[in-house]
Structure 1
Amino acid sequence: MGMVSAIFLVLITILLPPIGVYAVAGCGADLFINICLTLLGYIPGHIHAFYLEYVYYDRKEQAREGRFTAARAPGVYSERVQSGGQGYGTIVQPVN
């Protein structure tokens, strides 16, 4: 099911990058940045959206394997993306 949802998310992001960002990061700074980048040009919106999705799925895979990244991904403001969707008390966040 995870692979099918990832492929579906990529297809949505190709058509409308802000919807893909909303699905991964929710409503917040990352969505606002992506909407602005998409309005400035379609390609910058795609780059930002696919970067967020890459970080999200990479962190999700690391959490599944039991590895946790201490460093925050640059340019990502959503805690949900930073933790790979494993936040809200399920993973202890490292102290910097």
Structure 2
Amino acid sequence: MALTCSDICKFILAIIFPPLGVFAEKGCGKDLAINILLTLLLWIPGLIHAICVIVYY
């Protein structure tokens, strides 16, 4: 699977604020809600979840 320019932008958004990367990839939905909760707990779990969402979708 090749990375596109939009994927790189989503990774940058995910590093800055993980829910932004998930929102850019999936929009509003359960993945965004899960990521917001994980980001509120700690930044690292939210970042890991955001990267997984971007890579798998």
% identical equivalent positions: 49
Q: Structure 1: which 4+ aligned runs deviate by more than 4 Å? A: none
Give per-residue Cα distances to partners, 1:47-67, cap 9 Å, x unaligned. 1100111101xxxxxxxxxxx
RMSD: 1.1
- For structure 2, the 5+ residue unaligned runs are none
**Which residue in the other structure is 1:14 paired with?**
15
Q: Equivalent residues in 2 for 1:1-96 (5 A)?
A: 3-56=4-57
Larger radius of gyration: 1
TM-score scaled by structure 2?
A: 0.89
**1:8 Cα deviation after fit:** 1.1
TM-score scaled by structure 1?
A: 0.55
Give per-residue Cα distances to partners, 1:4-53, cap 9 Å, x unaligned. 11111111110010010011111011100000000000000001100111
Q: Determine which structure has the larger helix proportion and give its number.
A: 2
Secondary structure in 1 matching 2:33: helix
Query: Which protein, 1 or 2, shows the higher relative CO under an 8 Å CA cutoff with sep ≥ 6?
Result: 2
Count how many residue pairs are aligned between Structure 1 and Structure 2.
55
Mapped partners of 1:28, 1:3: distance in 2: 23
